[in-house]
């Protein structure tokens, strides 16, 4: 009787390469290794859970940690730290994970005890020590690798140590006691090089081992003796982990003919053994042929039987993707959900099943495991962050997918680990998405432009188990070509490995308009489809040509304006086919600083206090658009404190370096593009929406990618703080705001008393409020940062910035730019208007930048970008003083005050116009003769006579300007000042020339004065007259003024009259003279003088004779009196008296008399001595007058400044008057007049 026993197949062996952290698939027959990927887990032990097929990895040495590994990608998901150093591990048949751990002696080598590791939590339970000094420093080498055989026997192997051989043990899983089997040596007794680092049983209890110490060899060990056989080197490092999976085939791959029979004595029969691979996937299959007989000595004969199944290629062109989705809530801890996915079509290839587990998957051991109708797919979680979805994708091979889909329904089960709770997060559910591709039927290029090209990528899959060789890809249309992507060594032998894929780029490059249809042919070694055809179709047309105008937009609006500014842009199509377009407008935010990489300082480190960077009272935007501003700014936040120290809910934190876990906000809060509904509070003065860290060491820069720096950070005063046993943190909120208050918290290393708040507003705004801050304040970091720690805002680091009553506000920039419509079609030759709306409702003063992107199907101008500049600013308003006329004040013109103080800029501080940073005053602005007069809000400037076009140009802090024009005229309208000399009254004779009577004097502010005069004369008596003299002054502007001077020439002086009676002939002693000379004369400056006189003759015969000027008096001795009056009178009389009176034309009269006594000399009538008098003063002379001295030939005049002299001669005259024209300036003056006779002798 013949049968097959121990039938198995599909064994897969995985290995790790020590510190390099790579996962390999290893061929157990040859030790050939294929890289799967990098796990990120160095020095990893490996084990597969036989109940789920999930591969687990453990990081050895310091920082031991348990992970789940994806066998397709090598991606690792952390479960948790074990807290105990372990070496190797393996699962028993029930899925319990055993490990060799080091707990007794850290100085030993390898494991010294056996433990069980909870595969969901990584919690370690020690069973006991191995005994016999195994793993102790003074004992034997520790156990590195352990493995269970099919009977449940646990084996362990030690690594090579100095002076010791590697040893194989049998270990009791219940007690951990180890029993020696033997040294691990080869048939020659040579110990294995590098010792044993890992163990793994294969089907039929074949024991494989990996060697350590950088050797990386795969060996087989006889589990009964310890003897090993080398296979080959698998990896370049230590082969520190081995794990195997197998699937037992329920279908025998061997059959016998005959199965039962009889062999005659001394004879034999043939038994045909048939190896059938029809239903087997490629792989190694083995078993034992057992022949049972009636032989008494060896009744059973066993013959080993092995089959290597090689594959065949299977070409597939997957097409349209089908996705099925199922979401189910769960309601209990450790819950399970079952998802039935109905397939609308039968798949022709592999499945991809994606699991999203929403709920409590943040901590170690919190995982969800997915199976499909009993086939283990894998697990997701933990995420490291509470309430963050855990997700992963798992590939189901084509053969397995076909089996699962055979009934048209795929049933997927998701099982939570026992530590996954409910009610902790907003959602508790599992979402399963199954996707697969339908075979591609044809390729559609759509519309392609002439002289351009359009490419499609075709995925070519090899669903088979052998290399797919594609010898060529041909097209029946010249304008369509196909080329495999990537580096193809031989274009005629493109090889795609089993269960792999490659891509082909198919390009349609039309040269003329019109439709196209054809097919590609893939020529390959697929025995079923050696020629696979893929149809294609498309059409060609002339390309559109896109344009937009204007190509840049600049607009201005005042802050907080509720009405948007709109700009119209014309989108044009000058091409030959429809232009399809999509438009979007988005602000441009400059990138922030690069992130720092902080390394924690020891707790209590204070050396950097006060050495950091104080930023400013306002800052940003950062790379996302957040800005901050504090209450020192004019438009900064107000400090408004709402104390919650009694009404708030206490946070259950009382100590040092603690984190609260999530606290619901009561509303959704947007932060750096993500939405959160809970926040975590740390005792060290910071909060985070996601981080469980308790970091005390505050970084010097935000953003910061340092390992200990929390993500999604809000840091009001990040420092090493301490609650000192009190619940010093509370929270309180409603649907509009959420407040977290730290009350009287202290610092770890020095005294402080800090009371501050963080306020979250549902609008997205954040406030830091500092109520009472005392103690050390220069050792904190203040700011925020985003989820990946690359964008943030630093307010202050290690500087004394905070103080009582300070408020700091953070908020993102508002969405201020939009465009409508956002998509459309512009026919050839047409235009369409795009309306760009710019809103300053939530913007502060400043310049904002955006970009309008218009994406089109124009093959040349696929994307048009229009830069947008938006100046949010109250435009300054220039206001110069009004048009004005100024009177000139000097020949240079007038000093004019140009005043721009009435100019207004609403962005200025109240009561000021400080946002206007420049006042410029121009004359003839924007003309060739433009002249900058000066700068300043007010400008005094000298302007010449004439009209001046003045322009005030004001510029605000953002460079915006305004103009105001005024006309300033400088005129000379004032008449010159004219000053006449005083009226004059002059005694005749008088010089009336202005040189003597005084000229008018003119004054003018702007110019010289030209003066002229005219006289109006009115005659008077005699030679007197009255002159009215009019003076006229004219300036250069033809302004005139006049004044009048009256000059009166009068005659108030009596005429000068002189009488003398002189003997002409007389003998002394004789009688009366026969002749007398009667001399008289009259003179008057005023003209003619009327003279009346009489000659009185006493004792004469003629009596009195009246006389007058020119009168002839005749007299004779005979008594007849008739004398021609020529000044000589001959008369005989005892005495003669001449009496003369004179009157000028103005009635001034004077008289004189002279007498001669006939018969003696007598008195000559001389009254000269007392007659000197001062007559008057003209402008240039004094006039003296006196009575004539009889017989005087002339007169000599003397002058002195003192009555005592000395007297100096100043002139002579023959008349009884004298004009002193050289009078000195010294007064008074004294004069002396002396008569002089004919001989020049002075009389008294």
Question: What is the structure's pLDDT at 1152?
Answer: 75
709 touches 789 (CB < 8 A): yes
Answer yes or no: is 907 within a domain. yes
Tell whether 33 and 131 lie within a shared domain: yes
**Residue 581 pLDDT > 90:** yes
Q: What percent of the chain has pLDDT over 70?
A: 88
**How many of the other CB atoms lie within 10 Å of CB of 355?**
25
Instruction: Quote the number of domains for the chain.
Output: 9
| Domain finish residue from 953, 971, 989 | 971
Q: Where are the beta strands (DSSP E) in 184-299?
A: 196-202, 206-211, 217-221, 228-233, 241-247, 254-257, 272-275, 283-292
Position 927 confidence tier, pLDDT thresholds 50, 70, 90: very high
Answer yes or no: is 905 within a domain. yes
Q: Tell me the two tokens of residue 192.
A: 């294995």
Question: What is the structure's pLDDT at 281?
Answer: 66
Tell whether 427 and 458 lie within a shared domain: no
| Domain finish residue from 412, 438, 464 | 438
Question: What is the structure's pLDDT at 265?
Answer: 92
Tell whether 866 and 897 lie within a shared domain: no
Among 351-365, 572-586, 1144-1158, where is mean pLDDT lowest?
1144-1158
Q: What percent of the chain has pLDDT over 90?
A: 52
**Residue 754 pLDDT > 80:** yes
Tell whether 509 and 583 lie within a shared domain: no
The string of pLDDT tens digits covering residues 864-879 is 999 999 999 998 999 9
Domain range for 413: 315-438
- Taking the C-alpha atoms of residue 276 and residue 273, their distance in angstroms, rounded to an integer, is 10
The string of pLDDT tens digits covering residues 882-913 is 899 999 999 999 999 999 999 999 888 888 99
29 or 927, which is more confident?
927
**Residue 739 pLDDT > 50:** yes
**Average pLDDT value for residue range 148-173:** 88
Question: What is the structure's pLDDT at 11?
Answer: 76
The string of pLDDT tens digits covering residues 285-327 is 767 787 888 888 888 888 888 887 777 898 988 877 788 999 9
**Residue 612 pLDDT > 70:** no
Answer yes or no: is 1137 within a domain. no
Closest Cα to residue 56, out of 24, 89, 26?
89
Answer yes or no: is 1056 within a domain. no
3-state secondary structure of 273: strand
Distance of CA 991 to the CA centre of its chain: 92
Please give the mean pLDDT across all residues of the chain: 86
**Average pLDDT value for residue range 1202-1215:** 87
Tell whether 832 and 858 lie within a shared domain: yes
Answer yes or no: is 1016 within a domain. yes
**Residue 1133 pLDDT > 80:** no
| Domain finish residue from 788, 812, 836 | 812
Tell whether 18 and 140 lie within a shared domain: yes
**Average pLDDT value for residue range 361-372:** 87
The string of pLDDT tens digits covering residues 411-463 is 999 999 988 998 888 899 999 999 988 777 788 898 899 999 999 888 898 88
CATH of the domain at 1225: 2.60.40.10
Tell whether 205 and 142 lie within a shared domain: yes
Tell whether 664 and 685 lie within a shared domain: yes
Which residues, in sequence order, are CB contacts of 882 under 8 Å at separation 6+?
966
- Taking the C-alpha atoms of residue 211 and residue 612, their distance in angstroms, rounded to an integer, is 53
Tell whether 412 and 453 lie within a shared domain: no
**Average pLDDT value for residue range 1126-1133:** 44
Question: What is the structure's pLDDT at 590?
Answer: 81
Answer yes or no: is 1120 within a domain. no
Position 246 confidence tier, pLDDT thresholds 50, 70, 90: low
3-state secondary structure of 1169: helix
DSSP of 76-110, one letter per residue? Answer: EEEEEE-SSEEEEEEE-TTSPEEEEEE-S-TTSSS
Question: What is the structure's pLDDT at 943?
Answer: 95
Among 142-146, 171-175, 396-400, 618-622, where is mean pLDDT lowest?
396-400
**How many of the other CB atoms lie within 10 Å of CB of 649?**
13
Answer yes or no: is 195 within a domain. yes
Position 661 confidence tier, pLDDT thresholds 50, 70, 90: very high
Tell whether 917 and 806 lie within a shared domain: no
Tell whether 860 and 927 lie within a shared domain: no
Answer yes or no: is 827 within a domain. yes
Q: What is the pTM of this model?
A: 0.47
**How many of the other CB atoms lie within 10 Å of CB of 909?**
9
Tell whether 851 and 946 lie within a shared domain: no
Question: What is the structure's pLDDT at 1017?
Answer: 95
The string of pLDDT tens digits covering residues 195-228 is 899 999 987 788 999 998 889 999 999 999 999 9
- Taking the C-alpha atoms of residue 1019 and residue 1048, their distance in angstroms, rounded to an integer, is 10
The string of pLDDT tens digits covering residues 1072-1086 is 444 455 566 677 776
Among 39-48, 205-214, 698-707, 1151-1160, where is mean pLDDT lowest?
1151-1160
């Amino acid at each position: 009787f013949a049968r097959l026993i121990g039938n198995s197949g599909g064994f897969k062996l995985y290995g790790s390469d020590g510190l390099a952290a790579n996962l390999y698939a290893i061929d157990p027959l040859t030790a050939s290794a294929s890289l799967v990927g990098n796990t990120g887990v160095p020095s990893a032990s490996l084990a597969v859970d036989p109940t789920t097929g999930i591969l687990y990895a453990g990081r050895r040495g310091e920082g031991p940690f348990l992970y789940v590994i994806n066998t397709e990608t090598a991606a690792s998901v952390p479960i948790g730290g074990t807290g105990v150093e372990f070496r190797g591990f393996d699962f028993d048949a029930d899925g319990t994970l055993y490990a060799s751990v080091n707990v007794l002696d850290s100085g030993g080598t390898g494991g010294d005890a056996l433990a069980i590791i909870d595969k969901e939590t990584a919690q370690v339970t020690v069973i006991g020590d191995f005994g016999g000094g195994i793993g102790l420093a003074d004992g034997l080498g520790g156990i590195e690798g352990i493995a269970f055989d099919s009977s449940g026997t646990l084996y362990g192997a030690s690594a090579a140590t100095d002076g010791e051989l590697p040893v194989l043990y049998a270990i009791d899983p219940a007690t951990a006691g180890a029993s020696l089997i033997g040294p691990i040596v080869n048939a020659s007794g040579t110990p294995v090089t590098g010792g044993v680092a890992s163990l793994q049983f294969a089907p039929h209890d074949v024991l494989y081992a990996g060697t350590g110490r950088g050797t990386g060899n795969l060996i087989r060990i006889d589990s009964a003796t310890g003897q090993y056989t080398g296979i080959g080197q698998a990896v370049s490092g230590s082969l520190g982990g081995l794990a195997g999976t197998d699937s037992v085939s329920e279908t025998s791959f061997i059959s016998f003919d005959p199965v039962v029979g009889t062999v005659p004595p001394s004879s034999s029969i043939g038994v045909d053994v048939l190896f059938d691979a029809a239903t087997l996937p490629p792989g190694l299959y083995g078993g034992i042929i057992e022949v049972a007989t009636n032989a008494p000595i060896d009744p059973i004969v066993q013959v080993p039987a092995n089959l290597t199944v090689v594959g065949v290629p299977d070409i597939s062109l997957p097409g349209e993707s089908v996705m099925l989705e199922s979401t189910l809530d769960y309601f209990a801890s450790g819950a399970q959900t079952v998802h039935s996915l109905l397939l609308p079509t039968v798949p022709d290839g592999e499945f991809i099943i994606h699991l999203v587990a929403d709920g409590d998957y943040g901590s170690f051991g919190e995982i969800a495991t997915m199976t499909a109708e009993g086939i283990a797919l894998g697990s997701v979680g933990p995420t490291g962050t509470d309430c963050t979805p855990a997700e992963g994708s798992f590939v189901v091979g084509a053969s397995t997918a076909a089996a699962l889909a055979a009934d048209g329904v795929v049933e997927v089960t998701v099982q939570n680990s026992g530590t996954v709770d409910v009610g902790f997060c907003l959602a508790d559910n599992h979402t399963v998405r199954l996707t697969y591709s339908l075979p591609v039927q044809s390729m559609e290029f759509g519309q392609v432009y002439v002289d351009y090209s359009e490419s499609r990528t075709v995925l070519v899959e090899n669903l088979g188990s052998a290399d797919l060789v594609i010898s060529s890809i041909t097209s029946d249309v010249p304008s369509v070509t196909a080329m495999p992507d990537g580096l193809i060594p031989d274009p005629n032998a493109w090889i795609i490995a089993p269960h792999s894929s490659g891509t082909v780029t198919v390009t349609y490059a039309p040269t003329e308009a019109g439709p196209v249809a054809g097919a590609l042919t893939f020529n390959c070694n697929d025995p079923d489809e050696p020629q696979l055809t893929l149809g294609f179709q498309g059409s060609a047309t002339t390309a559109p040509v896109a344009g937009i105008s204007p190509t840049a937009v600049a607009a201005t609006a005042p802050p907080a304006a509720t009405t948007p500014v709109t700009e119209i842009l014309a989108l044009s199509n000058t091409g030959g086919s429809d232009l399809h377009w999509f438009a979007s407008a988005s602000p441009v935010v400059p990138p922030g600083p690069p992130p720092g990489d902080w390394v924690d300082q020891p707790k209590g480190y204070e050396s950097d206090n006060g050495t950091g960077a104080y930023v400013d009272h306002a800052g940003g935007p950062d790379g996302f658009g957040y800005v901050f501003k504090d209450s020192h700014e004019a438009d900064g936040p107000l400090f408004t404190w709402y104390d919650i120290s009694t009404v708030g809910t206490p946070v259950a934190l009382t100590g040092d370096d603690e984190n609260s876990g999530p606290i619901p906000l009561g509303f959704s809060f947007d932060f750096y593009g993500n939405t959160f509904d809970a926040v975590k509070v740390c005792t060290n003065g910071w909060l985070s929406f996601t981080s469980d860290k308790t970091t005390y060491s505050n970084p010097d820069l935000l953003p910061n990618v340092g390992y200990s720096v929390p993500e999604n950070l809000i840091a009001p005063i990040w420092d090493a703080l301490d609650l000192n046993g009190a619940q010093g943190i509370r929270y309180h909120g409603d649907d509009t705001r959420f407040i977290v208050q730290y009350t009287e918290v202290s610092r770890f290393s020095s005294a402080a008393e800090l009371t501050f708040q963080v306020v979250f507003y549902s609008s997205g705004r954040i406030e830091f409020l500092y109520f009472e801050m005392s103690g050390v304040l220069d050792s904190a970091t203040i700011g925020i940062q985003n989820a990946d720690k690359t964008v943030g805002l630093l307010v202050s680091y290690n500087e004394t910035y905070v103080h009582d009553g300070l408020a700091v506000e953070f908020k993102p920039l508002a969405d201020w730019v939009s465009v409508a419509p956002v998509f459309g079609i512009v026919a050839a030759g047409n235009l369409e208007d795009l309306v760009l709306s710019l809103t300053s409702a939530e913007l502060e003063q400043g310049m904002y930048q955006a970009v309008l992107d218009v994406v089109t199907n124009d093959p040349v101008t696929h994307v048009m970008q229009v830069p947008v500049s938006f100046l949010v600013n109250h435009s300054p308003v220039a206001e110069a003083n009004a048009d004005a006329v100024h009177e000139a004040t000097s020949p240079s013109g007038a000093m004019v005050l140009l005043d721009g103080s009435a100019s207004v800029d609403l962005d200025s501080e109240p009561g000021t116009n400080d946002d206007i940073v420049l006042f410029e005053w121009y004359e003839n602005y924007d003309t060739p003769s433009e002249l900058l007069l000066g700068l300043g809000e007010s400008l005094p400037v000298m302007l010449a006579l004439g009209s001046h076009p003045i322009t005030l140009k004001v510029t605000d802090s953002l460079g915006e300007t305004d103009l105001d024009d005024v006309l300033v005229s400088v005129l000379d309208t004032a008449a010159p000042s004219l000053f006449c000399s005083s009226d004059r009254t002059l005694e005749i004779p008088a010089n009336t020339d202005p040189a003597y009577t005084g000229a008018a004097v003119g004054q003018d502010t702007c110019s010289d004065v030209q003066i002229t005069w005219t006289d109006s004369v009115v005659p008077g008596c005699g030679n007197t007259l009255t002159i009215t003299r009019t003076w006229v002054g004219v300036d250069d502007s033809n302004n005139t003024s006049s004044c009048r001077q009256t000059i009166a020439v009068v005659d108030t002086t009596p005429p000068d009259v002189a009488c003398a009676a002189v003997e002409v002939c007389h003998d002394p002693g004789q009688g009366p003279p026969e002749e007398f000379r009667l001399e008289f004369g009259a003179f008057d400056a005023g003209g003619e003088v009327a003279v009346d006189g009489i000659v009185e003759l006493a004792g004469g015969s003629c009596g009195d004779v009246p006389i007058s000027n020119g009168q002839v008096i005749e007299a004779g001795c005979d008594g007849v009196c008739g004398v021609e009056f020529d000044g000589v009178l001959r008369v005989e009389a005892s005495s003669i008296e001449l009496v003369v009176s004179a009157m000028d034309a103005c009635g001034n009269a004077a008289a004189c008399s002279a007498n001669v006594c006939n018969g003696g000399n007598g008195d000559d009538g001389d009254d000269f001595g007392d007659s000197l008098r001062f007559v008057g003063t003209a402008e240039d002379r004094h006039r003296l007058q006196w009575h004539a001295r009889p017989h005087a030939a002339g007169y000599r005049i003397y002058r002195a400044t003192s009555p005592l002299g000395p007297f100096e001669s100043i002139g002579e005259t023959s008349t009884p008057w004298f004009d002193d024209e050289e009078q000195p300036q010294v007064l008074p003056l004294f004069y002396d007049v002396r008569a002089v006779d004919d001989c020049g002798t002075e009389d008294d």
